Structure 1
Amino acid sequence: MLQDIERYLACPHCTQRLALDGRTLRCAAGHSFDQAKQGYVSLLPGDAHTGTGDTAEMVAARSDFLAAGHYQPIVAALAGAAGGPVDGLVADLGAGTGHYLAHVLEHTGGVGAALDISKFALRRAAKAHPRIGAVVCDAWRPLPLQDGCADLVLNVFAPRNGPEIQRILRPGGRLLVVSPTSRHLAELVSALGLLSVDEDKDRRIDEKLGPWLTRTEQVEVDFRLALSQAEAAAVVAMGPNAWHTDAGRLAAALAELGEPVSVTGAVRVTTYTR
């Protein structure tokens, strides 16, 4: 709930602390932000654009797929890397539906800030766990959080803003990055003509975060998925491929694969420390 994280929030206009007044967040300078009836609050500046956020259809596909447990190995690896306990804030940058943040909070304790640009995703994140507060923001702009307020930052298949992540982490705080390897969903990539993962992705992530944080650990997580054609379609619909795929051609290509569709899951969980 927003009450759990209000002490960590910062006004996007003047960076002063925010406090709840009923269902409205206010700062000392008089800026105010109303909580939506679905539980989230938007702390986007007035000139922000949300066109890159996940659509309602993408969010629904991701919610169903994750709820079925297909990415449970990722959840387990992330919780293991998080360690515990955490007394303060766990911030999830690009939180989506709050699926991963909710599981980490169960493992570590603490309270969670689900940060995402999609209000459709945050409608679900606000209800994913009783200790999650959901905030609409842009990962590439100053994050609406106080300096040094987070014990842990999660970043799962999401944008990474190194300077801002460093700013919001306390000294000794950690960032956990989950990123796909080139083997992730490789069978679907080749059969359906999906976007592929760059072989140099890990190096590029390290180059972007290296000036701000120190890489301290990395584990690789490999697992197998046996998907129905509908579940394989959901994988496409829940990510960036949704913007580049024709539904008719996708259905025809999936029909040729039969069932179950055997797919590789392969990610890295990398720990960075401030």
Structure 2
Amino acid sequence: MCQDTLARGGERTLRCPHGHSFDIAKQGYATLVRGRVPHAGDSAEMIEARDDFLRAGHYRFIADAVIADVPPTSGLIVDAGAGPGWYLGRLLDRRPDALGLAVDVSKPALRRAARAHPRVAAVLADLWQPLPIADGSAEVIVNVFAPRNGAEFHRVLRPGGVLVVVTPAADHLREPITEHGLLTVDADKKERLTRTLGAHFTADHTASHRRRLDLTGDQMRTLIAMTPSARHVRLDELAPGAVTAAVDVTAFTRRDRPLPTPAADHGTDR
């Protein structure tokens, strides 16, 4: 991609001054990659389950924590790894002068993210590759349970901008992990976060947030269905129970001069 400015070239097309053209899907998102993306992201079933679980309000406390770390802004808020766009939508509700851009590699996610809020645009892009966003154009980047690319986040974020990252704490979802053998939280998560973002950002503060979720059997099925572990669990045999939801929310500021650059974080927290 030439990284030049895109403008509408028709109802369903974006074009740059050099003649590059990108289609806008009928569901409202634009695909800003050329060629085949090596991974398709979360499946339609996972996105449907996540959207249902989030809309039910179980993770509202996470959205509130993110909102608390985002300063008032009338600029662009980028949700890197937006999923169905629920967190970005809640954030825009509280920042009425801001615009939102949902970035994800999953087409089922973007179909929902494009409708998550009237001030959201949605684009298909690979977070592990150069992002189709102009240098210094974002006031805020939020990253909730998603891969992190420190070099690209630094390029996209304006000087003085804020990056807010949500990662699972060690005891996040400990009950279904123990009971059903779900994928566990990486024990080196904090060190990996520092390693992948520390060259480009300075951590201002980290806050831990926990809730006990008392879930019905149906809610437990939805919770597990939105994770990569769903294919390994008999979802018709789940009982109700208590679940610990525990996350760390870290606010970063952009370094003026990056340190030597590590590799992008290709992991996922879901």
| Fold-level similarity (TM above 0.5) | yes
**Secondary structure at the residue paired with 1:147?**
coil
- Per the alignment, residue 68 of structure 2 pairs with 80
- Per the alignment, residue 123 of structure 1 pairs with 111
Q: 2:244 aligns with which of 248, 264, 274?
A: 264
**Secondary structure at the residue paired with 2:219?**
helix
- Per the alignment, residue 136 of structure 2 pairs with 148
Tell me the amino acid that sits aligned with residue 270 of structure 1. Answer: T
Q: 1:44 aligns with which of 33, 52, 63?
A: 33
Tell me the amino acid that sits aligned with residue 177 of structure 2. Answer: V
Q: In structure 2, what is the Cα distance between the partners aligned to 1:200 and 1:49?
A: 26
- Per the alignment, residue 29 of structure 1 pairs with 18
- Per the alignment, residue 164 of structure 1 pairs with 152
- Per the alignment, residue 273 of structure 1 pairs with 253
Q: 2:48 aligns with which of 55, 60, 66?
A: 60
**Secondary structure at the residue paired with 2:127?**
coil
Give yes or no for contact 1:92–1:153 (8 Å, CA) kept in 2: yes
Tell me the amino acid that sits aligned with residue 160 of structure 2. Answer: G
Give yes or no for contact 1:181–1:199 (8 Å, CA) kept in 2: no
**Secondary structure at the residue paired with 2:14?**
strand
**Secondary structure at the residue paired with 2:232?**
coil
Indicate yes or no: 2:92 matched with 1:105: yes
Give yes or no for contact 1:148–1:168 (8 Å, CA) kept in 2: yes
Q: In structure 1, what is the Cα distance between the partners aligned to 2:93 and 2:70?
A: 11
Q: In structure 2, what is the Cα distance between the partners aligned to 1:107 and 1:224?
A: 25
Q: Which runs of 4+ in 1 moved over 4 A?
A: none
Identity of aligned residues (%): 48
Residues 70-97 of structure 1: CA deviation (Å, up to 9, x unaligned): 001101111111131x111000000000
Higher-helix-fraction structure? 1
**Secondary structure at the residue paired with 1:92?**
strand
Q: In structure 2, what is the Cα distance between the partners aligned to 1:198 and 1:42?
A: 31
Q: In structure 2, what is the Cα distance between the partners aligned to 1:18 and 1:120?
A: 24
Q: In structure 2, what is the Cα distance between the partners aligned to 1:262 and 1:48?
A: 38
**Secondary structure at the residue paired with 1:106?**
helix
- Per the alignment, residue 8 of structure 1 pairs with none
- Per the alignment, residue 266 of structure 2 pairs with none
Indicate yes or no: 2:71 matched with 1:89: no
Aligned positions of 1:12-27 closer than 5 A: 13-23=1-11, 24-27=13-16
**Secondary structure at the residue paired with 2:141?**
strand
- Per the alignment, residue 7 of structure 1 pairs with none
Residues 104-153 of structure 1: CA deviation (Å, up to 9, x unaligned): 11112310000000111111111110000000000000000000000000
Give yes or no for contact 1:155–1:177 (8 Å, CA) kept in 2: yes
**Secondary structure at the residue paired with 2:118?**
coil
Tell me the amino acid that sits aligned with residue 142 of structure 1. Answer: P
- Per the alignment, residue 236 of structure 2 pairs with 251
Q: In structure 1, what is the Cα distance between the partners aligned to 2:139 and 2:112?
A: 24
Shift of 1:203: 1.8
Superposition TM-score, scaled by structure 1 size: 0.89
- Per the alignment, residue 5 of structure 1 pairs with none
Q: Give the unaligned 5+ runs of structure 2.
A: 255-270
Aligned residue pairs, count: 252
Residues 126-184 of structure 1: CA deviation (Å, up to 9, x unaligned): 11100000000000000000000000001000000000000000001111000001111
Residues 26-63 of structure 1: CA deviation (Å, up to 9, x unaligned): 00110111211110010012142343x11111111011
Tell me the amino acid that sits aligned with residue 55 of structure 1. Answer: S
Q: Give the unaligned 5+ runs of structure 1.
A: 1-12
